[in-house]
Amino acid sequence: MSSLERSDVARLAALARIDMTDQDLDRMAGQLSAIVDAVAKVAEVADSDVVATSHPIPMANIHREDVVRLSLTQEQALSAAPASEDGRFRVPQILGEEA
């Protein structure tokens, strides 16, 4: 396992949809490398015969009847939207400027 380069952080930030300035990338690369080096020690003990645990308490699927229940109204659901139109969330254009 290796430390994170500046270009790795730029790629990850793009995947996570967070704009970062050059300054951000420099700072984050240093801090994240230190953290990644530290957490890499989990590999020391995690040999193949240890079962992975995703959840602390055993869980089972829960089912209910498929019936309509009282929930948020359309008005309530849209009440905090940055923009809405005709009872729907309004978003900026989806395709890039080049399209």
Partner 1 sequence: MTDWNNAGEIIRATAAQMADAMAAGHVTSVQLTQAHLDRIGAVDGAVHAFLHVDAEGALATAASVDADRAGGKALPALAGVPIALKDLLVTKGLPTTSGSKILEGWIPPYDATVTRKIREARMPILGKTNLDEFAMGSSTEHSGYGPTHNPWDLERIPGGSGGGSSAALAAWESPLAVGSDTGGSIRQPASFTGTVGVKPTYGGVSRYGAIALASSLDQLGPCGRTVLDTAMLHEVMGGHDEMDATSLNEPVPAVVAAAREGARGDLTGMRIGVVKELRGDGNFANGDFATGEPGDDAGGYQPGVKQRFQESLDKLRDAGAEIVEVSCPNFQYALAAYYLILPAEASSNLAKFDSVRFGLRVETGTVERTMAATRAAGFGDEVKRRIVLGTYALSAGFYDAYYGSAQKVRTLIQQDFAAAFELADVLVSPTTPTTPFKLGERIDDPLAMYLNDVATIPANLAGIPGMSLPSGVAPEDGLPTGFQILAPAREDARLYRVGAALEAALVAEWGGSLMDQAPTLEIDTAEARA
Positions touching partner 1 (CB under 8 A) are: 1, 4, 8-9, 12-20, 24, 28, 31-32, 34-47, 50-57, 59, 62, 64, 72, 76-77, 79-83, 89, 91-97
Distance CA 9, CA 38 (A): 17
Distance CA 35, CA 2 (A): 11
Question: Are the C-beta atoms of residues 20 and 13 closer than 8 Å to each other?
Answer: yes
Q: Using the minimum distance from each CB to partner 1, give the nearer residue, 68 or 94.
A: 94
Q: Please state the closest distance from residue 63 (CB atom) to partner 1, in A.
A: 11
Distance CA 1, CA 72 (A): 47
Q: Please state the closest distance from residue 26 (CB atom) to partner 1, in A.
A: 13
